[in-house]
Amino acid sequence: MKQRILVVEDEVQIAKVLKIELEYEDYEVHIEHDGLSGLENALGENYNLILLDVMLPKLSGIEVLRRLRKAGSHTPVILLTARNTTLDKVMGLDLGANDYVTKPFEIEELLARVRSSIRYHSSIISWQADRNEQPKISIKDLSVNTETREVTRSGESISLTPKEYDLLVYLLHHKNKIVTREGILTNVWGYEFEGETNVIDVYIRHLRKKLEDDSSDPLIQTVRGVGYTMKEK
């Protein structure tokens, strides 16, 4: 069965090019040209991925994303943003976007990110099915429910962005082992990352702040020159 992608893009020519390129890669593609119809379609149909423009008529892409996540949708979303809209990128990631691509974009980069997002989302679902176990993973007093994406420590709920959550789950799946920076980039970001090289340090710092705060029992340990680890003891 073909993987299905929803493209919500008001620029007709861009939407047409995306449809041609994605269908050439053997995806099934549906197009919507405004935020309201895009939201309705996203909530009414099952998709493997949504390509969502930020600047849309009737309902902005950011608002579409907010309502999708509020409705409980975990479908991967890649935002299509203008080059200088840093605030939109940050807000989008905080609201639950899985990735973003700036316009004008190289189609090969976009396709790589599409493959990455779909692959990672599928791997999480497959991992749960293959292990045939309770959807909870934990270490010490930290617990993650991979079905509801709820993260708690000592019973207190912790709010994470999608990428912070993905990073935490990857670390937990490899607890008591050392994971390299290269392994994190490949498996969490899922493509040949070409952004700032300190992106992992930034996300680790955010995770530590949210998970550990003033705790005297740190969960994430740095292995200098190699990577990171989470140990039971």
Task: Report pLDDT digits (tens) over 45-88.
Answer: 999 999 999 999 999 999 999 999 888 888 889 999 876 666 66
**Residues 81 and 179 placed together within one structural domain of the fold:** no
> CATH number for the domain including 155?
1.10.10.10
Give percent of the chain with pLDDT exceeding 90. 39
Residue 180: the pLDDT is 87
Top-confidence range, 94-103, 123-132, 200-209: 200-209
> CATH number for the domain including 108?
3.40.50.2300
Residue 199: the pLDDT is 79
Cα dist from 141 to 4, 114, 149, 153, 206, whole Å: 39, 35, 16, 5, 19
* pTM for this prediction: 0.62
**Residues 25 and 100 placed together within one structural domain of the fold:** yes
For the chain, the DSSP string reads ---EEEEE-S-HHHHHHHHHHHHHTT-EEEEESSHHHHHHHHHHS--SEEEEESS-SSS-HHHHHHHHHHTT----EEEEEETT-HHHHHHHHHHT--EEEEES--HHHHHHHHHHHHHHHHHHHHHHHHHTS-SEEEETTEEEETTTTEEEETTEEE---HHHHHHHHHHHHTTTSEEEHHHHIIIII-S---S-TTHHHHHHHHHHHHHTTT-SS-SEEEETTTEEEE---
**Residues 99 and 183 placed together within one structural domain of the fold:** no
Residue 53: the pLDDT is 94
Give the end of a domain, one of 75, 100, 125.
Answer: 125
Range of the domain at 25: 4-125
Residue 132: the pLDDT is 47
**Residues 177 and 213 placed together within one structural domain of the fold:** yes
**Residues 82 and 110 placed together within one structural domain of the fold:** yes
**Residues 43 and 93 placed together within one structural domain of the fold:** yes
Number of Cβ within a 10 Å radius of residue 147:
10
Average pLDDT estimate for 196-221: 80
**Residues 83 and 101 placed together within one structural domain of the fold:** yes
**Residues 78 and 148 placed together within one structural domain of the fold:** no
**Residues 113 and 148 placed together within one structural domain of the fold:** no
pLDDT of 127 higher than 60: no
Residue 148: the pLDDT is 84
Residue 124: the pLDDT is 59
**Residues 39 and 146 placed together within one structural domain of the fold:** no
Average pLDDT estimate for 196-207: 80
Average confidence score pLDDT of the chain: 84
Q: Which of these ranges, 7-11, 126-130, 170-174, 179-183, has the smallest mean pLDDT?
A: 126-130
Give the end of a domain, one of 103, 125, 147.
Answer: 125
Give the end of a domain, one of 108, 125, 142.
Answer: 125
Q: How confident is the model at residue 16 (pLDDT cuts 50, 70, 90)?
A: very high
Our count of domains for the chain comes to 2
Cα dist from 223 to 180, 181, 196, whole Å: 9, 10, 21
More confident residue, 41 or 163: 41
Residue 38: the pLDDT is 95
